[in-house]
A and B are shown apart, each in its own frame.
Chain A
Amino acid sequence: MRANFVVSGVFAGIRRNATMTIALVLSTAIALGFVGAAILANTEITKFRQKYEDKINVSVYLCAQLHTADPNCTEKTTPEQTAAIKQMLDSDPLVQSERYVSEQEAFQRGKEQLAGSTGNFLHLGDLPASFTVKLKDLQKDYAAFAAKYAKVTGIGRVNNQIDTINTLLNIIDSARWFSIIIAIVVLVASVLLIANTIQVAASQRKNETSIMRLVGASRWMTELPFMLEAVIAAAIGGLVAIGLIWAGKHYVLDNIFEGPTRHGVIPNLSINDVLVAGGSGLIVGIVLSGITAFLTLRFYVRL
């Protein structure tokens, strides 16, 4: 197939349909931008989990004096009970390691966290002693662990810090689902726009394609320029989308989460992550536009 001939046909077609091609580029850019955003949100969730999962510990709180109203804590945990709990933890196959945090230590930490005058209201004994437990598999074993230890005499409650992190993860996950839904809606619009653009282009070039058919041009030769037009528009849209994703990260996310990312609370997304997300969007765009163009030409346009 003569590449020059096909390429010149493609660019003539794009010029002739300039406004529709621009609309196609823009809608594809927005759709693929959201595809990229969804991928990026996914990357962030994965990074977040990786960052925190090995650091997340379970706290097994004992009963302090203040907790006697708690049905689990009718009285303060005795040293014997504490020793029994420690032994139970040490022999538990789910547990990787444990560390005892005394009331004194809890009080010190509490005072540091509630710096200033609020800390003055805190007294030794207000905060219970606890065991900081590291489980071998937090995700899998936490529920069983919590259920088992919550019933043990001398234990007030079992707490898992992943709950706090899950709230953050849920926010990111919602953003991901939002991106996915918007991406699907705009992708559907883009697919319809591609189909329409091809139908309009085909009717504009009916004279040319009918001659091509009459002189014996193969079906591919007749259809390829239309398919390439759609694929090129989608590819340009995909490149614009990479720019949009980068701009969104650089100007919006980086500004909003500047502090937490600088302190390492929220894992930072690298330019590499942006390129992977945008590049995946680009591939989705190219494949989808190629398939749409192919199907439109086969089923809706008689060339």
Chain B
Amino acid sequence: MIRLQNVTKVYPAGARPALDDVTFAVEKGEFVFLIGQSGSGKTTVLRLLLREEVSDVGLVAVNGRSLNKMPRRKVPELRRKIGCVFQDFRLLPKKTVYENVAFALEVINKSPKAIKRTVPEVLDLVGLNGKAQRMPNELSGGEQQRVAIARAFVNRPLVLLADEPTGNLDPDTSQGIMSLLERINRTGTTVVMATHDNNIVDAMRRRVIELEFGKIIRDQSRGVYGVGR
């Protein structure tokens, strides 16, 4: 589903590569943690997969398609297959929960009928069915992140990328978010999650790819946060 082959990425202002000869592959339906300190290259991996950046060297492919030479007009099509969740939720403050989720479908020209059917389903999945008409500022952090996950998943993407999704949440709420991501993963969606949260990584026992200064220093199935380094 995802393949990085000898990928190197250098930002213009960077003294060293953000990613340095990185190679890994993620199969369909896998759940992978990307861990490492700030600046280790986790977010760069996610940005390459979203085609926000292009690698300088090496191959980046999603769902069998190389992103390196993908023309700009094809990028929206790629992104419809990838859902994204961020630490800061990125909800639209003047839209209700329902509207925030529906927005992701409206802008890709889904029919109103499909929107009316799909949005309540996904709100049900994330446990927010009763709060469809609430505004984001009326929700807790965990609930806001659930809305963000609903928005990322409403178009049934093949891959869900999560960049520190529990970074702003307390441990109990984080646990709830992880359960939700696990449920989404069980539907066959590949999940790649960048995180610093050792408790979560240790509890989930999923594949762990650890980055340090842009290089992979560990790629371990059923790994934990701190062991094996």
Main SS class of interface, A: helix
Q: Which residue of the partner chain, among B76, B78, B90, contacts A218 with CB atoms under 8 Å?
A: B76
**Residues of chain B whose beta carbon lies under 8 Å from any beta carbon of chain A:** 50, 72-73, 76-81, 84, 90, 92, 103-104, 106-109, 112, 151-152, 155
Nearest residue in A to B151 (C-beta to C-beta)?
Answer: A215
In the complex, A88 has a CB within 8 A of chain B: no
- Kindly supply a per-residue 1/0 record for chain A positions 211-230, scoring 1 wherever the CB is within 8 Å of any chain B CB and 0 otherwise: 11111111101100000000
- The answer on a CB contact under 8 Å between A221 and B90 is no
- The answer on a CB contact under 8 Å between A219 and B106 is no
Contact sample, A vs B, 22 pairs, CB 8 Å cutoff: A2-B106, A5-B107, A207-B90, A207-B92, A213-B76, A215-B104, A215-B107, A216-B76, A216-B77, A216-B79, A216-B80, A216-B108, A216-B155, A217-B107, A217-B108, A218-B108, A219-B72, A219-B73, A219-B76, A221-B107, A221-B108, A221-B109
Nearest residue in A to B90 (C-beta to C-beta)?
Answer: A211
Q: Which residue of the partner chain, among B76, B90, B112, B152, contacts A210 with CB atoms under 8 Å?
A: B90
Chain B CB count within 10 A is highest, among A211, A215, A222, for: A215
Q: Which residues of B contact A210 (CB under 8 A)?
A: 90
Residue total for A at the interface (Cβ-Cβ under 8 A): 17
Q: Which residues of B contact A214 (CB under 8 A)?
A: 50, 79, 84
Q: Which residues of B contact A5 (CB under 8 A)?
A: 106-107
Q: Which residues of A contact B76 (CB under 8 A)?
A: 213, 216-219
The distance in angstroms between the C-alpha atoms of A190 and B3, with both chains bound, is 49
Q: Which 6 A/B pairs are nearest by Cβ-Cβ distance?
A: A216-B80, A216-B79, A217-B107, A215-B104, A216-B76, A5-B106
Q: Which residues of A contact B90 (CB under 8 A)?
A: 207, 210-211
In the complex, A83 has a CB within 8 A of chain B: no
Q: Which residues of B contact A222 (CB under 8 A)?
A: 107
Compute the total of residue contacts between A and B using a CB distance below 8 Å: 53
The distance in angstroms between the C-alpha atoms of A214 and B92, with both chains bound, is 14
Nearest residue in A to B111 (C-beta to C-beta)?
Answer: A2
**Residues of chain A whose beta carbon lies under 8 Å from any beta carbon of chain B:** 1-2, 5, 207-208, 210-219, 221-222
- The answer on a CB contact under 8 Å between B79 and A215 is yes
Nearest residue in B to A215 (C-beta to C-beta)?
Answer: B104
Give the shortest distance, in Å, between A1 (CB) and chain B (any CB): 6
- The answer on a CB contact under 8 Å between B106 and A213 is no
Give the shortest distance, in Å, between B183 (CB) and chain A (any CB): 21
Given known A-B contacts A2-B106, A221-B107, A221-B109, A215 and B80 have beta carbons under 8 A apart: yes
Given A211-B92, A217-B76, 19 further pairs, Cβ under 8 A: A1-B109, A2-B106, A2-B109, A5-B106, A211-B103, A211-B104, A214-B84, A215-B104, A215-B108, A215-B151, A215-B155, A216-B78, A216-B81, A216-B108, A217-B107, A217-B108, A218-B73, A219-B73, A221-B108
The distance in angstroms between the C-alpha atoms of A222 and B112, with both chains bound, is 19
Give the shortest distance, in Å, between B73 (CB) and chain A (any CB): 7
The distance in angstroms between the C-alpha atoms of A217 and B110, with both chains bound, is 11
Q: Which residues of A contact B92 (CB under 8 A)?
A: 207-208, 211
Give the shortest distance, in Å, between A219 (CB) and chain B (any CB): 7
The distance in angstroms between the C-alpha atoms of A219 and B90, with both chains bound, is 20
Q: Which residues of A contact B152 (CB under 8 A)?
A: 215
Give the shortest distance, in Å, between A22 (CB) and chain B (any CB): 22
Give the shortest distance, in Å, between B46 (CB) and chain A (any CB): 11
Q: Which residues of B contact A218 (CB under 8 A)?
A: 73, 76, 108
The distance in angstroms between the C-alpha atoms of A208 and B72, with both chains bound, is 20
Q: Which residues of A contact B103 (CB under 8 A)?
A: 211, 215
